[in-house]
Every structure is written in structure tokens, then in C-alpha cells.
Chains A and B, each alone.
Chain A
Amino acid sequence: MKTPSLFGAPRIWSVSELTRHIRQLLESDYRLQEIWVSGEASNVSLPASGHLYFSLQDATATLRCVMWRSQVALQTHLPKDGETFEVFGRIGVYEAGGQYQLYAEVLRPAGEGLRYQEFMERKARLETEGLFDAERKRPLPEWPRTIGVVTSPTGAALRDVLHVLQRRFPLVQVLLAPTAVQGPEAAGGVASALEALNQHGGSDVILVVRGGGSVEDLWTFNEEAVVRAVAASSIPVVTGIGHETDLILADFAADVRAPTPSAAAEVVTPDREALLHSLARLRADLLGLFQDQIGARQEALAVLQARLRQASPRAHIENARQRVDEFWRRAHAAIRHDLIVSRRTLDGLAHTLQAVGPAAVLSRGYAIVTQARDGAIVRSVSQVDPGDPLHVRVQDGSFGARVEDHEGSEDI
């Protein structure tokens, strides 16, 4: 061991300073900021905080790891003790604990990475061959008579398909080509089933269906043999492989992809309810059209009948009678009118007469004077001498009078 130098004071670090230095060193290495590490999981712990603590180890070393709760929620697979995992994250230093550790962002079972790569390579290769081209997709038959089904005879997928077919369009015949749908023999089984249905040739469309499951379970439908068999089928194929987010290569090769077995059954059949509705509508149209036809004919007939009535002699007579009635009505009206005018004139004259008649004059204060002896009206002073008896009539009666003296007109 080196003897500490006696010249000059040695730098004495605090724990914090040293730890910070180590941290900075680690953090400055860019390779450690985004790194994939593979190892066997151990001491896996998921306390109430929701954060995941575990170690990755191999023969000679151990790496402490932590994943925060928010990231934990996004993972599909959490490690169990003894499982080999690949973890992606960054190396950091937990200063308080004097610990370097891997802050994990993504983790997955080891080998999944490899499988994913294999998947992407296969997808690219088959795509280049043109197996997924849109032009290869064929239209589905509108009225299928026989539907071929490739699936497990005991699985839920078949039951689902049959239920949907019975409900929607039970007129079809179902031809089942049974096969395993997971496990090592499944790929060959599915491919053979497809070939068998094509050889038989009686189906109008084929459903390839399987219920939901893990990536492992569904891997059969990523196998090359299956994809090629789907693409090679001369009968249109609809896949209904229950899964949510994973990509399935068989779906790309199919003519139509449905998300579940039930959906696949729906895609290939017309809906019985909808058919019954359009039947009802057609029946109503039929009836309506027929009634229109009758109605139109009835109308044409009515029009002719009306014209016939118009043209008949009876019509003439009616017409003439009406004209006569009209004439009399007008005549009466004219006469009544004349009478009214006459009466009015009469009234007018009577009124005038009243105004200039003797009664009116008398009421104004004039008197009618007559000779008592002969009743002759006295108009002039020359007609009377003093002492002559007179008769005077005023408006409301008469009285006698005697002339006293008179003044001649030549005096006035």
C-alpha cells in the first residue's frame, strides 16, 4: 500500500461530495442513459406505494432496479423471481442509499425481443411477396349457402360463431374443419384445415376463428404456414382471432379481418332482422303500389262519369231551370227597387207639401179670415165694411169677429 504523501494535505472528501461525483460520472456516460439489460429477476417486491423493486442478476453480479408506479401500470408482464427479463432504462445513483441502480422504463420477458424481431422480419418478407396486397382481397358473397369454419371443435369461438349464425341467418350450412388452434401442432393443423376446405370446394366463404389469449397462445396465426395457407385460399377468408393490440400476420393475408369470432360471423351474413324489415317494407310498397293502381283507375272513371253527367239532357234541363229562376230573382229585385224609389219620392213630396200647406202657414201666426155670411175668404180691405161679421180661423181653432174700421191699402 502506498504511503500517503507527507507533502501537502490530502483532499478529504465528504460522503456527499464523493457520491455526487460518482453520480455525475455515471450520468455523463451516454450509454448508461439508455440501456437494455438482461438478467434473472430476484427479490421482486411491489409494495403499497405501487413502485416495483427488484434485482437483475447473473453468475457474478447483481443490479438493483426500480420502476415507478406510473410505468408499472403500462407493462403487460411483471417479472417474477427466477424469470429472465430484459429491462430498459437508465443508470442512476440513489445518493441517500449509496446505491447505483437501474431506473426501469420498460421490461419484457427475455426472448420476446427476439420473437418481435422475427415477427417484423417475417412481416416484411411476406409483404414484399405481395401476400398482403389490397388488390388480392376479394369481395365476400352476399348470400352464402355454405360457410366453412376453421377452429377448435371444443373452443368457445365455434360456439360464438354458431350462435351468431343461428340468430342472423340460419339458412346456411356450416362446414367445420376442426383443428388445434394453439400449441406446436396448431400451425400445421390450421393450414391443413384450410387446404381441406379448398379441396372440398363447397364453401362460399371460410372463417378462421379463435378466442382471445396471450401472445404465446395466438402465435400460431403468425406462423408462416398459416399465413401462406390463408393467402393461397381460393375461397375468401375472414379471420376472427380475438385479440386487442397485437398484430397477427394471418389478418393481413385475409380478405377481411374481424376483431372477434362473433364479428367474423356477422361480417359474412346478412342480418335476419334487417331482412325481415326490408321484407315488411317491400310488402307495404307492394300493397301501396297496387292500391295506387286501383285508385288511379277509379279516378279516371269518376272523371268520365262526371263528364257524362254534364253531357246528358237532364243537365240541359237543370241548366235552363236554373236560368229561369235566376231571371225571376232579378225581376223581383228590380221591381222591389222601383217601389222603394217611388215611396221615397212620395215621402219627399208629402214632406214638402206639409211644409207649404195651410197648417204650416197658420202655425207661423197667419189667420184665415172669411166673411161670416158667405164664407168667402177676405183678401182685401175692399171686401169689408165696418160692422161686418167675420169668421177668423187660426191654427188651433176659430172665433167670430166684427170689422171696426179699416185702413185702405193706399193708406199703408
Chain B
Amino acid sequence: MSKPKPVEKMTYEEAFEELKAVVEQLESGELPLEESLALFERGQALSQHCSELLEKAQLKLKQLVPGPSGDLEETDFEIEDA
């Protein structure tokens, strides 16, 4: 297994998928104690990261408009509260 990616850098999808894999591994039950412990801690970290992402995220808004040269540009967009 390659060196695991640090949890804080993962997207929600990556973290969630790995969390599922960790649980499945622990379910198989064939691991030595130290590995179980390490997996459990990784699982906790992944789960924590996912929760944080969900709870703290803010929707990002951008607008696609034709630029001066005719290309498309992304610009920031503010929704007016009417």
C-alpha cells in the first residue's frame, strides 16, 4: 500500500470512500492488534474531516460570461437579496 494521503488534503468523496474501506477492513477481523488500532485512528480522523467539510462549507458562486476577447471567463457573482 502506498503512503496514505494526509486526511486534511482529501476531498469529501476521497475521505468518505476511504472511511468505508477502513470499516470493511476492521470488519474482516483478521488483523493484528497494532494494525487495528492504527486503522481505527485513521478512521476517526477521516470521519472527523468529513464532518468538518460538511459543517463548515460555504457555497462558491461564479458566473460564466463572454470576455472582452470573446472567450469565456469565470467571474465572481453575488446574489442580490431582493
Query: Is residue A173 within 8 Å, beta carbon to beta carbon, of the partner chain?
Result: yes
Query: Is residue A32 within 8 Å, beta carbon to beta carbon, of the partner chain?
Result: no
Contact bitstring A141-171, B, C-beta under 8 A = 1, else 0:
0110100100001100011001001100011
Q: Which residues of B contact A296 (CB under 8 A)?
A: 29
Instruction: Known A171-B12, A174-B59, A177-B64; judge A159-B79 contact (CB<8 A).
Output: yes
Query: Is residue A285 within 8 Å, beta carbon to beta carbon, of the partner chain?
Result: yes
Q: Which residues of B contact A197 (CB under 8 A)?
A: 64
> For residue A170, which residue of chain B has the nearest CB?
B57
> How far is A200 from B65 in the complex, measured between Cα atoms in Å?
11
Size category of the A interface is 35 or more
Contact B23 A285 (CB under 8 A): yes
Contact A297 B33 (CB under 8 A): yes
From 194 to 221 in chain A, residues with beta carbon under 8 angstroms from any chain B beta carbon are: 196-197, 199-200
Contact bitstring A171-191, B, C-beta under 8 A = 1, else 0:
111111110000000000000
Q: Which residues of A contact B65 (CB under 8 A)?
A: 178
Q: Which residues of A contact B62 (CB under 8 A)?
A: 173-176
From 64 to 82 in chain B, residues with beta carbon under 8 angstroms from any chain A beta carbon are: 64-66, 72, 74, 77, 79-80, 82
> How far is A283 from B43 in the complex, measured between Cα atoms in Å?
8
Query: Is residue B7 within 8 Å, beta carbon to beta carbon, of the partner chain?
Result: no
Interface size, chain B (Cβ < 8 Å): 40
| A340 CB to nearest chain B CB (Å) | 63
Query: Is residue B26 within 8 Å, beta carbon to beta carbon, of the partner chain?
Result: yes
Q: Which residues of A contact B47 (CB under 8 A)?
A: 279, 282-283, 286
Contact bitstring A269-299, B, C-beta under 8 A = 1, else 0:
0001001100100110111011011001100
Contact A196 B33 (CB under 8 A): no
Q: Which of B13, B27, B33, B60 contacts A289 (CB 8 A)?
A: B27
Q: Which residues of A contact B55 (CB under 8 A)?
A: 276
Q: Which of A176, A200, A272, A285 contacts B72 (CB 8 A)?
A: A200
> How far is A368 from B77 in the complex, measured between Cα atoms in Å?
144
Contact A174 B60 (CB under 8 A): yes
Contact B64 A282 (CB under 8 A): no
> How far is A309 from B59 in the complex, measured between Cα atoms in Å?
65
Q: Which residues of B contact A153 (CB under 8 A)?
A: 63, 77
> For residue A172, which residue of chain B has the nearest CB?
B59
Instruction: Known A143-B12, A283-B44, A290-B26; judge A176-B77 contact (CB<8 A).
Output: yes
> How far is A154 from B82 in the complex, measured between Cα atoms in Å?
9
| B67 CB to nearest chain A CB (Å) | 11
> How far is A178 from B22 in the complex, measured between Cα atoms in Å?
43
Would you mind naming 7 contact pairs between A and B with Cβ atoms under 8 Å apart? Answer: A143-B13, A175-B63, A276-B51, A279-B16, A282-B19, A282-B23, A282-B47
Which of B's residues lie within 8 Å of A, judged by CB? 11-13, 16, 19-20, 22-23, 26-27, 29, 31, 33, 36-37, 40, 43-44, 47, 50-51, 53-55, 57-66, 72, 74, 77, 79-80, 82
Q: Rank and list the top 4 A-B pairs by shortest CB-CB distance, nearest first.
A: A170-B57, A289-B26, A143-B13, A173-B60
